[in-house]
Amino acid sequence: MKEGLLRIGEATARKDFTEVSRTLKRLDLIFRQHIVDEEAQILRLLVGELGRKGAEEEIRVFQQHRPIYRLMQEISKFASMPAAELQQGQKELRDLFEKHAFAEERRVFPRAERLSAE
């Protein structure tokens, strides 16, 4: 994902909206699979072991998938817009993704690893 977001930023700077659109389509597939994998495996483990109440924080982190995905869809529609407008949406997507990745790596995954080891 991060590599794709960087590629989008570079293509936007070059005003290569064909590459922006192509990269967004690839990211869309990757992100859809990311959501399915995490929710099917990690979230199921956490809720199964801790219950919904005990996994509330992790559930909130996984709920961040939705606004990220909606923003990706929105940016995809903007592929023909001027670079400045597209770049603003790309920055927002990157910021959301980085916040989400940080929350997963610092809170969700370590807790899931501890539970799966027990």
Computed over every residue of the chain, the mean pLDDT equals 80
Cβ atoms of 41 and 4 closer than 8 Å? no
**Per-residue pLDDT tens over the stretch 18-65:** 887 788 878 877 878 888 888 889 989 999 999 999 999 989 888 888
Classify 81 as helix, strand or coil: coil
Copy the structure tokens of residue 98.
């980085």
Q: Which one, of 31, 46, 44, 40, lies nearest residue 115 by Cα?
A: 46
Give the C-alpha separation, 45 to 25, whole Å: 30
